[in-house]
Amino acid sequence: LDWRTMLDSKGEGDICPDGRGPILICLDTSGSMEGKPADFAKAMTLECVRQARLEGRGCCLFAFSGEGQVEEFEVAAAGRQLPWEGLLDFLARSFEGGTDLQAPMGRCLELLRDASWQ
């Protein structure tokens, strides 16, 4: 699954024509993000989660670093209890390796093709 090829393809229409689809976040936890860049990225991630819940949109997070280093965390839709402890534990972790965007982008594209995420 090559996300670059998939993004270049035209497909058969918009995945979410009304523009209100899920929020999928790829969070770089590589070594180069250590310190303030990671803190900023994680703060922005929390705000995106908050906004997704306000808008009743699905939200899934992907923390990634080098090849094979990717973890996924699905945030419950609005109306359901947000697992704050699990979310904060997820955001506290870091791989601190290299940077490979292939796996998280591929997983995002898989979710966008899944009818339950549209």
DSSP string, 44-113: HHHHHHHHHHHTT--EEEEEE-STT-EEEEEEPPTTS---HHHHHHHHH----S----HHHHHHHHHHHH
Tokens 């670059």 identify what position?
4
% of residues, the chain, pLDDT over 90: 13
Residue 28 to residue 15: CA distance in whole angstroms:
25
DSSP 6: H
Q: Is the pLDDT of residue 7 over 50?
A: no
Query: Where residue 76 falls among pLDDT bands split at 50, 70, 90?
Result: low
User: What are the pLDDT digits (tens) for 18-36?
Assistant: 567 788 899 988 888 888 9
Give 49-61 pLDDT, tens digit per residue: 888 888 888 889 9
Give the three-state DSSP class for 40.
helix
